[in-house]
Amino acid sequence: MVVVMEPKASEEMVQDVIKHLKEMGFEIHRSDGVTHTILGAVGDKTGIDIRQLEVLEGVHEVIRISEPYKLASRSFKRENTVIRLGDVSIGGDEVTVAAGPCAVESEEQIMIIAETVKKLGAKLLRGGAFKPRTSPYSFQGLGEAGLKYLRKAADKFGLLAITEVVDVGHVPLVLRYADVLQVGARNMQNFMLLRELGKVQKPVMLKRGMSATIEEWLMASEYILTGGNDQVILCERGIRTFENYTRNTLDISAVPIVKKLSHLPVFTDPSHGTGIRNKVIPMARASVAAGADGIIVEVHHDPDHAKSDGAQSIFPYQLEELMKELRIIARAVGRTL
């Protein structure tokens, strides 16, 4: 961290800043230039609120050199984190596809979809049992029954199950049924939930909040990582912008940015990222081309009658087409599928 003093800062002001930096545990390297005095502060910056320095008299600017997140960063761990679940590796050479309905609606529905997505090459079966809906009048999910059906379908067809945990009190319940626990966009900064998930021994997919910066998203992952759970998958699912031709704006550029900043696997969710069925496939292709480690996509055998997110759920024949295209793209960017 570097503190740049104002040109007219007095020696007293400089000494006051030095005193604060020392109290914060930093070692100081001072350099007096023609106009500015610059203080290089070396030490652990985690937990420091730089605004406390910015408000001191005579301070022109405080520049952070290292990232505020630590365990999630590439400077902490250079190699990619690869999460192994049976014979599935997430974050390695292979691109992983998670597919399934927005919500588990019935045993029959999840069975039909599970069979299809397995046949087409998906490794994970998605399906929400507890749905965080904008309206309390919308379908809220089947709860534990939904988890049971999801587990049964995943086991029957040899898939891994991923489902959302919306509440800290539900963690033990969801853990009994899921292989990967999903934290939804609306819960990205539910710090109690994140801390609880830091204690579990299963991978967590952390969706990016719809108005979260990349740094806030990585800081959220840090809550899970500091608890001792190093199996975190990040998922870009679209952010809220002024554009309203799509439900959200899928920030594809977040993929290469986060891949550079962090060693964690990065997925995208082109379904919630666009909200429109015919936009899902192009954005899924773009995600893999941009270096995503996987996608999570909503698929429904009868989307016109889906209880949630039918308009953004692709048909099985579209998933088949998409898988073919993703195989070509994966190969083109040095990956397999």
Binding site for Mn ion (CB under 5 A): 102, 309
| Beta-carbon count within 10 A of 76 CB | 13
Of 21, 13, 25, 22, give the one whose Cα is nearest residue 59: 13
Stretch that binds ligand PEP, among 79-87, 106-114, 183-191, 255-263 (CB under 6 A): 183-191
3-state helix, strand, coil in the chain (%, to 5): 40, 20, 40
**Residue 88 to residues 92, 98, 224, 248, 289: CA-CA distances in angstroms?**
10, 11, 22, 30, 21
Q: What does 101 bind: ligand PEP, Mn ion, none (CB cut-off 5 to 8 Å by kind)?
A: none
DSSP assignment letter at 315: P
- 3-class DSSP state for residue 241? coil
Closer residue to Mn ion, CB minimum distance, 102 or 166:
102
- Out of 102, 104, 239, 314, point to the residue binding ligand PEP (CB under 6 A): 102
- Which option in Mn ion, ligand PEP, none does residue 291 bind, with CB closer than 5 to 8 A by kind? none
Q: Does 185 bind ligand PEP (CB under 6 A)?
A: yes
Q: Which does 293 bind (CB under 5 to 8 A by kind): Mn ion, ligand PEP, none?
A: none
- In the complex, minimum distance from the CB of residue 313 to Mn ion, in angstroms, rounded to a whole number: 8
- C-beta of 17 vs 147, nearer to ligand PEP: 147
Beta strand pairing status for 59-63 and 2-5?
antiparallel
In the chain, the N- to C-terminal Cα span, in Å, equals 42
- Taking the complex as a whole, the smallest distance from the CB of residue 79 to ligand PEP amounts, in Å, to 28
Interface pick for ligand PEP out of 58, 101, 141, 184 (rule CB under 6 A): 184
> 39 or 297, CB closer to ligand PEP?
297
Specify which residues 31 forms β-bridges with. Answer: 38
Binding mask 121-140 toward ligand PEP (x if CB under 6 A, else -) reads -------x---x--------
Q: In the complex, what is the shortest distance from the CB of residue 49 to ligand PEP, in angstroms, rounded to a whole number?
A: 29
Q: Rounded to the nearest whole angstrom, what is the least distance from the CB of residue 322 to Mn ion in the complex?
A: 17
Binding segment (CB under 6 A) for ligand PEP, from list 22-30, 40-48, 76-84, 182-190: 182-190
d(CA 81, CA 225): 12
Segment interacting with ligand PEP (CB under 6 A) among 4-12, 179-187, 192-200, 255-263? 179-187
Sheet of strand 2-5: strand arrangement? 27-32, 37-42, 2-5, 59-63
Name the amino acid, one letter, at 183: V
Q: Is 170 an interacting residue with respect to ligand PEP (CB under 6 A)?
A: no
Q: How many Å apart are CA 242 and CA 171, to the nearest integer?
A: 35
Residue 114, CA atoms < 13 Å, CB-side half-sphere: 27
Question: 127-166: string of b/e by CB count within 10 Å (b at 16+)?
Answer: bbbbbeeeeeeebbbbeeebbbbbbbbbeebebbbbbbbb
Beta bridge partners of 296: 98
Q: How many residues bind ligand PEP (CB under 6 A)?
A: 11
Q: Which residue is nearest to Mn ion (CB)?
A: 102
Q: Binding of ligand PEP at residue 272 (CB under 6 A)?
A: yes
Q: Which of the choices ligand PEP, Mn ion, none does residue 184 contact, using the CB cut-off of 5 to 8 A by kind? A: ligand PEP
Segment 228-247, which members bind ligand PEP (CB under 6 A)? Answer: 237
Q: Of ligand PEP, Mn ion, none, which one does residue 185 interact with (CB within 5 to 8 Å by kind)?
A: ligand PEP
Q: Does 207 bind ligand PEP (CB under 6 A)?
A: yes
CA neighbor of 228 nearest in space, from 262, 204, 261, 263? 204
Binding site for ligand PEP (CB under 6 A): 102, 128, 132, 164, 184-186, 207, 237, 269, 272
